[in-house]
Amino acid sequence: MGLIQNVLAVIVVLGVLITFHEYGHYWVARRCGVKVLRFSVGFGKPIWSRVDRHGTEFAVAAIPLGGYVKMLDEREAPVPDEQLHETFNRKTVWQRIAIVAAGPLANFLLAIVAYWALFVAGTTTVAPVVGEVAPDSPAARSGLQGGQEIVAVQGNPVRSWDEINLRLIAHIGHSGELELLARDDAASDPSTYRLPVQDYLVRQDPPQPLPTLGITPWQPRFPAVLGQILPGEAAAEAGLEAGDRVLAVNGTPIDEWMDFVSVVRASPGETLELEVERDGERRQLTLAPGSRELETGGAIGYVGAGVEPVEWPEEYRREIRYGPVAAVGQAMSRTGEMTLLTVDAIRKMLVGLISPTNLSGPITIAQLAGDTARTGLESFVSFLAYLSISLAVLNLLPIPVLDGGHLLYYFVEAVRGRPVSERTQAIGLRIGLALVGMLMLMALFFDLMRLW
């Protein structure tokens, strides 16, 4: 079921992103008087198509990993004299720039609309209150303490752990101090804490902004009550059920969920005697945790069970909501921040500050799409917005084959007053295909390595 959900989620995500991107090209092309021959979502043989009154074929193809808008162009096939005014290549350089740029701009617009909807609907998050501070960590050396709420990172206000992580990731490679503002409670004034770092998060895969600083977020106490049991795993085979409360393991009392987790992780392949409470009755069960190998060596126990969720205290909840007008500015600001973060991440990957193993391909995207869809509409829409921004930024890279490569040629043409030669464009096309192909293979390789 999880695999089917992942596949459906990624088809929906890619379908929406590709449709918006290609519609941007299509809409501006039509406004510039260019005849569009085909609007295709997906590659390969069409599985559905229809032709509108303007002669444009709209198609959905079998391979949902891209799309294209095919326009009338003398460079691709002979064009009757009476249609020459509708060809793409006969349009002014600024019209061609507008048509090519419209695809990425449509993706930015989609992200703004998605964030606007989230801000208007309102999002509920938890306050970024510090739970524990690791001894001799950057946070400990700065004087930060458990129970304090972080309200700003490097002078930028934050209201959730997600915002804090985004602010911290933006400083990958930083050496010196990271400045946090934190307060003891809502009535107190915030104090400044300067956390010393050296080559912060450099080449971490994946980056761990908070653990690297020695910060553990606060969370409520979780009783050792099972919330979900995965079929076919050790917990299900032992007869455990959702709602069971673990009282003891091998005669040792269990008070909290993490106590149970610690015992399980330390017991791969062993047999554990459990005492559980079910419907007011105590039962004795035998549990044999499975074993999972660690990349760093060794193994940990695994039983395929999750904890029953608990309600967060009201004082730790934060609702972020804006009116329809105010949400426009917030959505544009969030889109701008995420765009700069994506561009900076690409730059840092090129200079070696971020490991290339962080590249993600279709498998990872499918997993994330499925996970966010299962989490809820809010997470799914947020993921869709970020992926739309990523698609726009990648398409604007000055690599032939991508929109950015075409824009580069057209801007050169605008400066020189004449088009880039066909030979130069052909060479660039081959180089671009090689670069894009290499990136796709690398991303797929890292996807497979994560699965392995």
Positions marked active-site = 22
Give the residue from 233, 212, 381 showing the smallest Cα distance to 302.
233
Contacts 24+ apart (CB under 8 A), 411-416: 411/97, 413/93, 414/93, 414/94, 414/97
Q: Is the peptide bond before 80 cis (omega within 30 degrees of 0)?
A: no
Burial class of residue 180, CB neighbours in 10 A (0-12, 13-18, 19+): buried
Structure token digits, residue 255? 């008070």
Query: Rounded to 5 degrees, what are φ and ψ at 42?
Result: 105, 165
Contact 189, 205 (CB under 8 A): no
**Cα 19 to Cα 7: distance, rounded to the nearest angstrom:** 18
Give the residue from 321, 315, 313, 322 showing the smallest Cα distance to 186.
315
Contact 128, 213 (CB under 8 A): no
Contact 249, 260 (CB under 8 A): yes
**Cα 380 to Cα 338: distance, rounded to the nearest angstrom:** 16
Give the residue from 395, 414, 390 showing the smallest Cα distance to 405.
395
Contact 371, 323 (CB under 8 A): no
Q: How far is C-alpha 252 from the chain's CA centre?
A: 41
Provide the residue type at 47 as one letter. Answer: I
Total length of the chain: 452
Q: How far is C-alpha 294 from the chain's CA centre?
A: 25
Adjacent-strand bridge partners of 130: 217
Query: Rounded to 5 degrees, what are φ and ψ at 66?
Result: 165, -165
Contact 2, 370 (CB under 8 A): yes
Q: Compute the chain's Rg from CA coordinates.
A: 27
Q: Is the peptide bond before 223 cis (omega within 30 degrees of 0)?
A: no
Mapped onto helix, strand or coil, the DSSP state of residue 276 is strand
Structure token digits, residue 44? 């390969």
**Helix 2-31 vs helix 377-395: angle between axes, to the nearest 10 degrees?**
50
Alpha-carbon dihedral sign for residues 295, 230, 379, 168: negative
